[in-house]
Structure 1
């Protein structure tokens, strides 16, 4: 099984030597808006988040992703009440992501800043920018090739290679209490600033469109829906969506689908100061993915919110 994983990773590695072909999948993508779009930094206020994704659980060498982030809205620190969430003009964030897949180890740090312009009673135009610093390691001891004397691969066999890449992301979003529309572009410099062992010569620009809506059906039931569409030149475009119901202001249940790839079921628990989410993902038939399930665990903690000054929990979470 281990060799099968290595052959898969090597196929991606060799066929796309000059272009870094990678895409991070998250079933609960709506929980990590600032990572995908710097303009949405601080959208839910000052938060600390943690996330673990164990892909193809039980399969040796399967990808694993770890994520932590911190977002700060300075207006909340002043403690002048809930209205500051609407009127605050600036937010900053730090995202740390660690990926391990086959012979590759990828550690990514994204530092983001967002500025908000109030355009309505409860709506904002948000503009954001981020600096993306990646450290990519290649373990040549885990490389296997079916073609003898392949010069592309042989230079890294039985050795280690490391490179760093500095790039930039931009994003914008129109947000309100009950909806958001956003667009972001990643890798604007195409990986042009790099150092170390240059085994990935460039990175493609990635366009990310996201939108979300929520609606209160009854005082005890709210519906949330989200869509994300990604365009990347060296990979097929993907669309994914999820929909969930928040019940009694505490528990949510939901389903999601990454078109042509995977289906997921979600369960979560919300409190005024934190929320916890779990997703169980299975590849769809015909996607040619390894049929093992994927598990995701997410935890968010709201740093400065006070229960006695908040609206309903459902009015504040996405």
Structure 2
């Protein structure tokens, strides 16, 4: 099958030739409503089982553009409450799981990881957590969807090329009710975590290390209005450092709207609602600012959250940044 958009063909061939697109990890506009997808130290941070399902369709109108799905879930273990408001909360553990799949043209990537974190209050208001997640990543390339100018290219001949690799992610999170700072590293094993594979498969489907640094602050502007600016710095060589900046305004801990800017990529509009102690929903639209906007109608992303084992019937999460 031939690709009908020259731009996508260039993206796919670049990924095969140099082992790197702009970023191997899926792109998310609403990472701030589910920091768990970036940092395993978040695991078990709330008082309930936090389940989230998401679908992201990037660069609508462009054949073979990225499509991403994920399902995540994490919960605390033996989490207790402080005896009164002047004492620290008790330390606790958290466990979780994340399944994601991301497809761009002939490239498909599926990952499954399990996570663990330990949360330790260090003052009456400030907590620190450290977490790790490990699992498998399967990278697949459907060579039938590529065209080659070099008949000796090792991928000529079609069929699927698959590679399974071990995935290791580490994270640190420092947080209180009004701020959070996080650091995480993903795919830390790189090719050391790959199973035995031919040289051409390692070149096409290997892993890059990714690093994320995040920071946010929650300002209580009035008794019913919170303003939450946040920033994320992403590093994944050989790609240049990328910065995301966002601000959300939340009313009565039930409704929020937000806007963001992704460096050299997009302007983002977001909206969300905490519907009930069980359900919350959020949506974002990315208006592309790069040259891809000539063939793209933008990006849509939706996240649906479920709060299970929510005995306290919490509607708005305690930790919102």
Question: Where does residue 272 of structure 2 map in the other structure?
Answer: 268
For residues 37 and 108 of structure 1, the distance between their equivalents in structure 2, rounded to whole angstroms, comes to 15
Q: How many residues align?
A: 312
Structure 2 vs 1, CA of residues 17 and 246 (structure 1 numbering), >3 Å: closer, same or farther? closer
What is the RMSD computed on CA atoms of the aligned residues? 2.8
Question: Where does residue 220 of structure 2 map in the other structure?
Answer: 216
Please list every run of 5 or more consecutive structure 2 residues that lacks an aligned counterpart in the other structure. none
Question: Where does residue 29 of structure 1 map in the other structure?
Answer: 31
Structure 2 vs 1, CA of residues 175 and 79 (structure 1 numbering), >3 Å: closer, same or farther? closer
* 1:277-312 C-alpha deviation (Å, 9 max, x unpaired): 00011111557774321000001111122356x5x8
For residues 121 and 79 of structure 1, the distance between their equivalents in structure 2, rounded to whole angstroms, comes to 12
Structure 2 vs 1, CA of residues 294 and 288 (structure 1 numbering), >3 Å: closer, same or farther? closer
Answer whether contact 1:35 1:110 (CA < 8 A) is retained.
no
> 3-state SS of the aligned residue for 2:155?
helix
Question: Where does residue 307 of structure 2 map in the other structure?
Answer: 302
- 2:143 matched to 1:140? yes
Answer whether contact 2:39 2:172 (CA < 8 A) is retained.
yes
* 1:142-177 C-alpha deviation (Å, 9 max, x unpaired): 0112x23242432xx421111100021111111111
- 2:316 matched to 1:313? yes
Please list every run of 5 or more consecutive structure 1 residues that lacks an aligned counterpart in the other structure. none
Question: Where does residue 111 of structure 1 map in the other structure?
Answer: 114
Q: TM-score, normalised by structure 1?
A: 0.88
Question: Where does residue 285 of structure 2 map in the other structure?
Answer: 280
Answer whether contact 2:220 2:227 (CA < 8 A) is retained.
yes
> 3-state SS of the aligned residue for 1:87?
coil
* 1:235-294 C-alpha deviation (Å, 9 max, x unpaired): 111110211111132211110110111111001111333321000111115577743210
> 3-state SS of the aligned residue for 1:26?
coil
Displacement after TM superposition at 1:2 (Å) = 2.8
Structure 2 vs 1, CA of residues 257 and 100 (structure 1 numbering), >3 Å: closer, same or farther? same
Question: Where does residue 235 of structure 2 map in the other structure?
Answer: 231
- 2:65 matched to 1:65? no
